[in-house]
Amino acid sequence: MEKIRVLLSGIGGIAQIAHLPILSKMADVEIAGVCDIDKSKLKSIAQKYGVTNHFTSIDEMLANTEADCLFVTSPTNLHKEQAIKGLEKGLNVLVEKPVARNYDEAVAIVEASKKAKKLLMVGMNNRFRPDLMMQESFVSAGELGEIFYIKTGFLKKRSTQEKWSLNKNESGGGVFMDLGIVMLDIALWILKFPKIKSVSAVNYYHTFKDVEDSSFVMLRFANSSTVTIEASWTLHRENDLFYSNVYGKEGSANINPLQIYKQMHGTLVNVTPLKMEKPANIFKRSYEYEISHFINSLRNNQKTVSDGNEALSRMKIVDAVYESAKQGKEILF
């Protein structure tokens, strides 16, 4: 089988933790080149993974390597420029979340992908968690009835110490861009991306001045469903918390842990599957599934999940979250 040639722009934390280790072990993939402005890191990482082509600029990398796709794993302020350059070069592109700092930048990337007629996928790896895939499958099958409320949250310490993540000009925002957008995507995915009606948000800047460290959001949709999201780097808790509680007219599905209940003949019955994959590292497994999905979609010329159109729906809401928090009022669509 001919190998899919992959380029990576930006080899920071997530590329080192997830993308590079996973891609290097895939028999049908070749890491054709990497680029990063940090020369010492670039050299050591390239040597570690046996990558001959390594560059300090994406322009140099694109001009001097032949490839099939580009993984954009750089700071968020570089996503628009680098993704568009990859698309214009004729490459399929996977952009790590968030796709961009705001809706307008996302539009530019999506339009470039359509013009180039190339795949664009945004890395929302949590959709590939086994428990969330099971939760979504029960909803899609209609087992829980009409979904009217989703309560989600992601509370954890910052996953990176990279300074750019605390600079709004580079990151686009704080904890909502980091963790809140993950839960927003899960809710939209489960609800099949309904039309948004209004957004109300409160952001707190207790620890950092430039970006929010806690964010609390309420979304209302045209189909009368409601979503609440809480995200924080700094709530005083003993343990991290990641949850997605989905409530339908005929049942509910919660994680973590996975629990599915269905109303049957007037009785609430636990219908949680007994045999569920429980990987030791669910974080790593989600990235393995996500990257395999993108590579397979590219190889078979098939549509990806988490595509550009979904990214636009998501970023429109993200912009409204920050506008609502700034104005201190509900934003209507």
Q: What is 148-181 written as a DSSP string?
A: EEEEEEEE---S---GGGG-HHHHSSSHIIIIIH
Average pLDDT of the segment spanning 60-70? 98
Domains of the chain from N-terminus onward: 4-123 (3.40.50.720), 127-283+314-332 (3.30.360.10)
C-alpha to C-alpha distance for 255 and 228, rounded to whole angstroms: 15
Average pLDDT of the segment spanning 257-263? 95
Q: What is the pLDDT of residue 137?
A: 97
Asked whether residue 277 carries a pLDDT value surpassing 90, the answer given is: no
State pTM to two decimals.
0.96
C-alpha to C-alpha distance for 229 and 187, rounded to whole angstroms: 9
Q: What is the pLDDT of residue 280?
A: 73
Give CA torsion, residues 331, 190, 273, 286, to 10 deg.
-100
Half-sphere exposure of 318 (CA within 13 A, CB side): 30
Average pLDDT of the segment spanning 255-272? 95
C-alpha to C-alpha distance for 157 and 191, rounded to whole angstroms: 28
Q: Which of 73, 86, 97 is nearest to 20 (CA)?
A: 73
C-alpha to C-alpha distance for 329 and 331, rounded to whole angstroms: 6
Q: What is the pLDDT of residue 279?
A: 66
**Using one digit for the tens of pLDDT, what is the confidence trace for 22-47?**
999 999 999 999 999 999 999 999 99
Asked whether residue 226 carries a pLDDT value surpassing 90, the answer given is: yes
Asked whether residue 150 carries a pLDDT value surpassing 90, the answer given is: yes
Q: What is the pLDDT of residue 75?
A: 96
Q: What is the pLDDT of residue 259?
A: 96
Peptide bond into 279 cis (omega under 30): no
Average pLDDT of the segment spanning 316-323? 98
| Burial (CB count <10 Å: 0-12, 13-18, 19+), residue 158 | middle
Across the beta sheet with 147-155, the strand order is 267-270, 259-264, 251-255, 241-248, 147-155, 226-232, 214-221, 196-204, 331-332
